[in-house]
Structure 1
Amino acid sequence: MGTMNPANRTLPLTRREYFWPPADELTEAAERIRARLGEWPRADVAWRICLTPPDEPGAGDLIVAVTGAADTVSRQDDSAAWLANGAGVIEAGAQGACLMLADKRYPLDSAGALAEDWLAALASFLDCGFEPPDALVLALAWRDGDETRGEDAWPVELTRFPRIPGLIAPPQQLFDACPARLGLYPVVPSAQWVERLLALGVKTVQLRVKDASPAQLAQDIAKSVAAGRRHDARVFINDHWREALAAGAYGVHLGQEDLDTADLDAIAAAGMRLGLSTHGYYEMLRALHFGPSYLAFGSIFPTATKTLATAPQGTARLARYVRLLNGKVALVAIGGIGLGTLEAVLATGVGGAAVVSAVTAATDPAAAVAELEAVFANQ
């Protein structure tokens, strides 16, 4: 993250109608907090935190409702109308808050009492470009006066972060750990690619097969797992956890949506490692609940290999994730990473970097691997 520009120390929140109705004390607190958070790209949406419902709520409005009030039923009816008009709703109580946005709910239980400045902090993190679920996580991790302590006001203690209630229990058996520094981590589409890269000395690889018949899929996974054993390498299988279990794979990599359907108990009991994709603070908290072997953060940069549901994270956010989680779980950066960007990615302290087209689209894959490995060696 870049150094603060002195000219930005007081930000023009007063001219951006961050609160409705206008709230001078909250705006002043938000200016204080925002000035200590550093330089971040502005949000694509001009969010407005509504302390009372506006006459015409719509997209960009986050309406705050206090739970436990006498008008709970009528407010639920109102919330449905606000959501239908494109607004978001934050139901806040003594122990946490729940964001409702479009057709999704993001409940969070605070690790302690909510800070008096949590709404000001929410406005500040929204201004830093974080999506509402992630900004709310950071706001609930905020403590009054954080902006006056030390050189870095950013929440960096995991014990202060909220938790997500209502998740299914994690597996009784813990997932086996993998090395904290997974290094170069190519993601490839076939067993032939897995065998080719392991022969070059790559020690971590992911097989991501798309549109294969069941027989071809099982064959590719079996070949990849066998190659991993021959080369004493870590072969992860993307998505297809049942087939990975049958083949005795080193590990599987799953997306957030897979957490609702995969048999995590069976994966853990088999001694397989689990990698989970995350795209921000809220998904990070959800993934950590299950005790994975590693977390992948992405997409760091724009990528043509898959459609992105969220904006690229960038290295400044990656550095924040690393500072929060380093030493607690292995971390991997993914998305748009190549030879020209790898050094900046590794400068964040992340221990692994997944690459796709930097290897599979290279004219000389062996030379590409050697060049990428050299960047790791120089860190």
Structure 2
Amino acid sequence: MTQSLTLKGRDLFWPPADELTEATERIRARLGDWPPTHAPWRICLTAPDEPNGGDLIVIADAQQHGAQMARWLTQGAGVIEAAENKATLHLGGEKYGLEGHLAEDWIAALAAFLDCGFDPHDALVLALAWRDGDETRADDAFPSDLAHFPRVTGLPAAPAQPFARCPPKLGLYPVLPTADWVERVVGFGVKTVQLRRKSAEPVDELKREIARCVAAGRAHDAQVFINDHWRAALEAGAYGVHLGQEDVHTADLSALAAAGIRLGLSTHGFYEMLKALHFRPSYIALGAVFPTTTKVMPTAPQGLRRLARYVRLLDGVVPLVAIGGIDRQVLPDVLATGVGCAAVVRAVTEAADPAAAVSALQQAFTQ
């Protein structure tokens, strides 16, 4: 049983609900030993007089609460609209729509997953993946059957055909800033790399860089992905592109899929994983596993415990890439989760001897 179960001393529900609290404690005790959350989440079945930033107010119909809902959101509260096997979270100016099974214990499950430290949109995903009685079936009742998970609503249509497949285990995956680096690293024998060039300007230079990367990949039988610049990658006939969550709403995914270009998508939790799966990508990146200085991350580091859960859920469904703060020291622990690929940045580009660094990193995949 978890050693961090401290629910009895907390204000979990409004109005106070002993039966819900007992159900939450029962579920929480079977989810594993997660560090207790420091966020003051409170699930409100009736709207409090003065909601705050820790309140998640559950309603059945947003249209009946239009003016009130706008006020609640302005005051920093979140609103969960739940009815007929659908749940939509409104929080922080974002809308997270889900369609799936609402168990009788879904609210207690939501409170338990919030206590495990999951952000509300991910906790809601897990609550909809919960089935009544799951806590009686095993010591570890954490949802791990993808068939039980909800689907994300309101997404643009996926391309008519899935994206081209890539190897199930991509191995070492350096993310590199220039074509010079790409040419150098594929020359070391690395078979999967990514060009992450932050600027698209000047355009002619960008196109030359991508063309060099594509040529280097073909010369060394390596899989070269291009980060963000999908138009230039499509024009150059790149092996693959890597996009962020926001890019699926603007990139021409159908054109990329029709051209046979592989697609990798970044994710930062369960909700974004489900969103990525909708588009049937070639791989899904899971991160950031550890703190990283290479880019500003939208979420706190995921850690190895969450990474292991993600791998357990998605292994065999789609190739997975762990990313964020990974170096030679932590790489064995990352691979111990079962993930078949790890992306690295500074472990190569800031190494005193990049060739030796690559060799040491590759050895971790064979141990």
> Do both share a fold (TM > 0.5)?
yes
TMscore range, shorter length: over 0.9
Alpha-carbon offset, residue 41 of structure 1 = 2.1
Q: Secondary structure at the match of 1:340?
A: coil
- Is it true that 1:248 corresponds to 2:237 in the alignment? yes
Aligned counterparts of 1:132 and 1:163: Cα–Cα separation in 2 = 16
- Structure 1 residue aligned with 2:352: 363
Pairing partner for 1:276 from 265, 274, 277: 265
Pairing partner for 2:93 from 90, 100, 103: 103
- Structure 1 residue aligned with 2:39: 45
Aligned counterparts of 2:98 and 2:63: Cα–Cα separation in 1 = 21
Task: Show CA shifts across 1:61-92 (max 9, x none).
Answer: 1001123xxxx645121111000000000011
Alpha-carbon offset, residue 55 of structure 1 = 1.4
Aligned counterparts of 1:78 and 1:182: Cα–Cα separation in 2 = 50
Pairing partner for 1:223 from 212, 224, 227: 212
- Is it true that 1:203 corresponds to 2:197 in the alignment? no
Task: Show CA shifts across 1:1-24 (max 9, x none).
Answer: xxx55x55xx23121101111100
- Structure 2 residue aligned with 1:257: 246
Alpha-carbon offset, residue 131 of structure 1 = 0.3
The code of the aligned residue for 1:275 comes to G
Alpha-carbon offset, residue 210 of structure 1 = 1.4
- Is it true that 1:313 corresponds to 2:307 in the alignment? no
- Aligned counterparts, 1:264-343, within 5 A: 264-343=253-332
- Is it true that 1:15 corresponds to 2:5 in the alignment? no
Instruction: Report the identity percentage.
Output: 65
Pairing partner for 1:147 from 120, 132, 135: 135
Aligned counterparts of 2:38 and 2:361: Cα–Cα separation in 1 = 33
The code of the aligned residue for 1:188 comes to L
Q: Which moved more, 1:236-245 or 1:166-175?
A: 166-175
TM-score, normalised to structure 1, is 0.95
TM-score, normalised to structure 2, is 0.98
Task: Show CA shifts across 1:27-72 (max 9, x none).
Answer: 00000111111111222411011111111101011001123xxxx6
- Structure 2 residue aligned with 1:87: 77
Q: Secondary structure at the match of 1:193?
A: helix
The code of the aligned residue for 2:185 comes to L
Residues 30 and 138, structure 2, Cα contact 8 Å, conserved in 1: no
Alpha-carbon offset, residue 107 of structure 1 = 0.7
Pairing partner for 1:125 from 101, 113, 122: 113
Aligned counterparts of 2:301 and 2:237: Cα–Cα separation in 1 = 34
Q: Secondary structure at the match of 1:125?
A: helix
Aligned counterparts of 1:149 and 1:283: Cα–Cα separation in 2 = 28
Residues 32 and 140, structure 2, Cα contact 8 Å, conserved in 1: no
Aligned counterparts of 1:174 and 1:307: Cα–Cα separation in 2 = 30
- Structure 2 residue aligned with 1:76: 66
RMSD in angstroms over aligned alpha carbons? 1.1
Aligned counterparts of 1:174 and 1:100: Cα–Cα separation in 2 = 31
Q: Secondary structure at the match of 1:98?
A: strand
Gaps of 5+ in 2: none
Aligned counterparts of 1:78 and 1:147: Cα–Cα separation in 2 = 36
Give the paired residue count.
Answer: 366
The code of the aligned residue for 1:214 comes to V
Task: Show CA shifts across 1:332-378 (max 9, x none).
Answer: 00000001110110000001000000100111101110110111110
The code of the aligned residue for 2:115 comes to D
Q: Which moved more, 1:235-244 or 1:12-21?
A: 12-21
Q: Secondary structure at the match of 2:82?
A: strand
Pairing partner for 2:221 from 229, 232, 236: 232
The code of the aligned residue for 1:216 comes to E
Gaps of 5+ in 1: none
Alpha-carbon offset, residue 215 of structure 1 = 1.3
Task: Show CA shifts across 1:127-146 (max 9, x none).
Answer: 11100000000000000010
Q: Which moved more, 1:335-344 or 1:33-42?
A: 33-42
- Is it true that 1:193 corresponds to 2:193 in the alignment? no
Aligned counterparts of 2:150 and 2:343: Cα–Cα separation in 1 = 29
